[in-house]
């Protein structure tokens, strides 16, 4: 990896690590998790829609939730993983 790119990566890892260990992170994480839980709540789907549309929306909500949870795990684990490498 070129030196400039390595320095940028190390800088990004440090920035993420600093934020994850800051006082703001638990607040942001809780808000994000609340949104994810809202997405997973089937009561958020309009029950007057056609059944096929409801299934599509449920799948979309599930995918969005999975992507956000994966991103959250990645952000929290990135600094630790970088230290191991």
The reply to whether the predicted model has a pTM over 0.75 is: no
* Per-residue pLDDT at 84 exceeds 70: no
Measure the CA–CA gap between 66 and 50, rounded to whole angstroms: 24
pLDDT at 68: 95
Backbone phi and psi for residue 14, each to the nearest 5 degrees, phi listed first: -60, -45
Q: Is 41 helix (H, G, I), strand (E, B) or coil?
A: coil
pLDDT in tens, 6-52: 676 788 888 888 888 999 999 999 999 999 999 999 888 888 889 99
């Amino acid at each position: 990896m070129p030196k400039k790119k390595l320095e940028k990566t190390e800088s990004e890892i440090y920035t993420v690590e600093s934020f994850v260990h800051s006082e703001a992170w638990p607040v942001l994480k809780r808000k994000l998790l609340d949104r994810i839980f809202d997405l997973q709540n089937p009561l958020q789907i309009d029950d007057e829609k056609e059944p096929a549309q409801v299934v599509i929306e449920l799948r979309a909500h599930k995918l969005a939730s999975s992507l956000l949870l994966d991103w959250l795990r990645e952000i929290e684990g990135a600094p630790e993983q970088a230290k191991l490498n």
